[in-house]
């Protein structure tokens, strides 16, 4: 992801800054996806691992990146409180 783009992107709901999710975060998210316990805000259980994602600066909301394109839709966001 282009770092210049990260400077201007914001969470569409809270307007918090976004940053690329680090390895440990992605690992925890993908483990929850593999276990079938992670859903997006619309309630759809996720079934495909994430290669990249954006995380709000407070660590509460994750947005997937699909084919290099950030999916900044509230319905596709992931509430990180689901990750134990």
Q: pLDDT tens digit string along 18-72?
A: 999 999 999 999 999 999 999 999 999 999 999 999 999 999 999 999 999 999 9
Is the model's pLDDT at 1 over the cut of 80? no
Tell me how many domains the chain contains.
1
Q: What is the pTM of this model?
A: 0.93
Nearest to 45 by CA among 71, 82, 74, 19: 82
Provide the 8-state DSSP code for 44.
Answer: P
Instruction: Identify the domain containing residue 52 by its residue range.
Output: 3-82
């Amino acid at each position: 992801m282009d770092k210049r783009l990260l400077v201007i992107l914001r969470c569409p709901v809270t307007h918090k800054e976004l940053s690329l999710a680090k390895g440990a975060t992605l690992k925890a998210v993908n483990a929850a996806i593999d276990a079938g316990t992670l859903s997006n805000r619309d309630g759809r259980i996720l079934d495909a691992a994430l290669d990249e994602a954006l995380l709000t600066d407070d660590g509460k909301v994750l947005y997937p990146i699909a084919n290099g394109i950030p999916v900044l839709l509230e319905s596709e966001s992931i509430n990180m409180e689901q990750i134990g």
